[in-house]
């Protein structure tokens, strides 16, 4: 079935479309998934205007009722989990087991936030004066514009959209242009869950139209918060734009996530972690493993086991039980090919029977299915990465894992932090001292111990530092500070003006008093 999808603004399809693009299944290029009608700058601004108009009534809806909408959304996602997972696999080639996990992440997010509608706590705070009370309230920010990537086409959007809605904001969502069918399905589920039409709109548009729309909407006072998941380069531009309007965006950007293997590590466990975090989702997660940083004493042993496990891993048809399927789309292949060029003569390449695109002429032993049918790439392990290599500092969004060696802990930390990213990280060790040293010194916002760099749970703070983001955090209670502002209220019922700091009762104290020796 070929779906025709377009922007849904205030619950209605937007006509006429500016441009139309065709989305094909990256595992079976002869399977057309969707014809997407892209909107333009005015579509985006129109959605922001609808959001502005609808937001006040939504904010006035009791928070427990907003939580109930999120509960219904979670239920609908659960009831439609299989169809949604299959659509994700068809549209971006994510292995079906991972797609199901991603859909579960949406449900988990709803389960966490549905009760937040009954909490959203403020505080009562004692005043320094009698007959006066102090209070804090969380107030919605207003209209949130959420721009997300397509590697997690439903889980990552839900991290923004669900808490934003519970907190009383209206949302304009711009999903990746290459996942329009999944975005449309997600939107239909939200609208059927009872989100009032103008409170949530989905705009399909390309990057330039979105940026232009965002710029104009900010200029017109129609957007109060931006959430963005994507590249560091675009995040920087969005940060600049938001800064001009005195806004702090929520930025979730790239990563060059290190996995440190200490000499005392369980090597088989480390190999399992490296295999999943390096090659799961074909390496197309922001949390994917960048470089394994392995102690010289165990380097050869680790590398041999890692290369063997990678050689033997099933790769191919994402509807089967494979480690990974195709790249998300042609543009991901094009970028990945430029990163493969960063392999230098002093590197050793392992992990497969070839490098680059898997074809009949460049086959992969044990490939599952027909490699010519889709956009499949060999897994590539690059050993001998040095701190000053391009590969040590460049995020390579695809099935490529670097391996570097260290002697001292300082060298390991220089490799782990030297690229300036700070999203996720991992250490394999059996010594707690190494764990705490690593936690303290790594720049990453997220640290795994004896676990993969990817696969964060949906209720811990998710986010990074440096080139990975501006310190904002998503998920759990931490994201509430992104979608609400604290309002402080004081109420004086003394019947006269009591001036803070000036009319405060003095405490008599004998400060000259000393205990006798």
Q: Binding segment for ligand UN1 among 16-24, 280-288, 365-373, 487-495 (CB under 6 A)?
A: 280-288
156 binds ligand UN1 (CB under 6 A): yes
Dist. CA 358–CA 335, nearest whole Å: 16
Dist. CA 173–CA 506, nearest whole Å: 55
Interacting residues of 280 by C-beta distance below 8 A, sequence separation 6+: 98, 288, 323, 324, 452, 454
Going residue by residue from 232 to 261, which x/- string records binding to ligand UN1, judged by CB under 6 A? ------------------------------
Q: Cβ 420 to ligand UN1, closest distance in Å?
A: 18
Interacting residues of 178 by C-beta distance below 8 A, sequence separation 6+: 23, 91, 92, 150, 328, 329, 331
Is the distance from CB of 477 to CB of 460 less than 8 angstroms? no
Nearer to ligand UN1, 236 or 459 (CB): 459
Going residue by residue from 96 to 125, which x/- string records binding to ligand UN1, judged by CB under 6 A? ---------x--------------------
Going residue by residue from 396 to 415, which x/- string records binding to ligand UN1, judged by CB under 6 A? --------------------
Instruction: Establish whether the linkage from the previous residue to 16 is cis, with ω within 30° of 0.
Output: yes
299 binds ligand UN1 (CB under 6 A): no
Nearer to ligand UN1, 298 or 456 (CB): 456
286 binds ligand UN1 (CB under 6 A): yes
279 binds ligand UN1 (CB under 6 A): no
152 binds ligand UN1 (CB under 6 A): yes
Dist. CA 56–CA 54, nearest whole Å: 6
434 binds ligand UN1 (CB under 6 A): no
Question: What is each CA distance from 418 to 23, 163, 410, 449, 471, in whole angstroms?
Answer: 38, 34, 11, 20, 18
Q: Binding segment for ligand UN1 among 5-13, 128-136, 180-188, 285-293 (CB under 6 A)?
A: 285-293
Dist. CA 502–CA 500, nearest whole Å: 5
Q: How far is CA 60 from the centre of its chain?
A: 30
Nearer to ligand UN1, 171 or 328 (CB): 328
Q: What are phi and psi of 237, to 5 degrees?
A: -65, -40
Contact pick of 71, 179, 287, 470 for ligand UN1 (by CB under 6 A)? 287
229 binds ligand UN1 (CB under 6 A): yes
Write out the binding residues for ligand UN1, residues 447-486 only, by CB under 6 A: 454-456
Q: Is 286 a catalytic residue?
A: yes
Q: Cβ 272 to ligand UN1, closest distance in Å?
A: 16
Exposure on the CB side of residue 450, measured as CA atoms within 13 A: 12
Nearer to ligand UN1, 117 or 379 (CB): 379
Angle formed by the axes of helices 180-192 and 155-166, to 10°?
30
Binding footprint of ligand UN1 on the chain (CB under 6 A): 105, 151-152, 156, 229, 285-287, 454-456
């Amino acid at each position: 079935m070929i779906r025709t999808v377009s922007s849904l603004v205030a619950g209605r399809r937007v006509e006429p479309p500016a441009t139309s693009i065709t989305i094909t299944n990256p595992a079976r290029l002869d399977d057309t998934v969707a014809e997407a009608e892209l909107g333009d700058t005015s579509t985006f601004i129109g959605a922001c205007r609808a959001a502005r108009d609808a937001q006040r009534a939504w904010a006035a809806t009791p928070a427990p009722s907003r939580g109930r909408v999120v509960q219904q959304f979670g239920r609908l996602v659960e009831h439609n989990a299989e169809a949604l997972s299959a659509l994700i696999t068809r549209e971006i080639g994510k292995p079906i087991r991972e797609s199901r996990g991603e859909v579960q992440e949406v449900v988990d997010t709803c389960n966490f936030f549905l009760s937040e509608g009954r909490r959203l706590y403020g505080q009562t705070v004692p005043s320094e004066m009698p007959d006066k009370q102090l209070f804090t309230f969380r107030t919605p920010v207003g209209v949130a514009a959420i721009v997300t990537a397509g590697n997690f086409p439903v889980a990552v959007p839900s991290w923004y959209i669900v808490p934003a809605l519970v907190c009383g904001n209206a949302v304009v969502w711009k999903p990746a242009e290459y996942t329009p069918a999944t975005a449309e399905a997600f939107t239909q589920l939200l609208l059927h869950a009872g989100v009032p039409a103008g409170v949530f709109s989905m705009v399909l548009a390309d990057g330039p139209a979105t940026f232009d729309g965002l710029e104009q909407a900010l200029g017109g006072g129609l957007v109060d918060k931006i959430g963005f998941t994507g590249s560091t380069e675009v995040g920087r531009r969005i940060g600049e734009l938001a800064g001009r309007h005195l806004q702090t965006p929520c930025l979730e950007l790239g990563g060059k996530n290190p996995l440190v293997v200490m000499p005392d590590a369980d090597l088989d466990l480390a190999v399992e972690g490296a295999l999943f975090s390096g090659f799961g989702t074909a390496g197309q997660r922001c949390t994917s493993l960048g470089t394994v940083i392995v102690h010289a004493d165990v380097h050869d042993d680790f590398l041999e086991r890692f290369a063997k496990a990678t050689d033997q891993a099933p790769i191919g048809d994402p509807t089967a039980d494979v480690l990974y399927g195709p790249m998300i789309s042609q543009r991901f292949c094009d970028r990945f090919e430029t990163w493969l060029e960063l392999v230098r003569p002093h590197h050793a390449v392992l992990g497969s029977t070839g490098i680059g695109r898997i074809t009949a002429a460049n086959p992969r032993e044990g490939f599952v299915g027909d490699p010519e049918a889709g956009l499949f790439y060999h897994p590539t392990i690059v050993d001998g990465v040095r701190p000053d290599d391009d590969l040590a500092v460049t995020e390579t969004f695809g099935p490529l894992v670097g391996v570097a060696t260290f002697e001292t802990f300082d060298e390991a930390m220089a490799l782990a932090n030297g690229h300036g990213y700070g999203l996720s990280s991992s250490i394999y060790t059996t010594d707690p001292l190494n764990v705490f040293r690593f936690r303290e010194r790594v720049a990453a916002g997220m640290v795994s111990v004896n676990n993969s760099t990817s696969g964060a749970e949906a209720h811990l703070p998710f986010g990074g530092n440096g080139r990975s983001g501006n310190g904002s955090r998503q998920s759990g209670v931490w994201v509430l500070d992104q979608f609400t502002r604290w309002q402080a209220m004081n109420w004086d019922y003394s019947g006269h003006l009591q001036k803070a700091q000036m009319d405060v009762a003095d405490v008599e104290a004998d400060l000259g008093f000393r205990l006798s020796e």
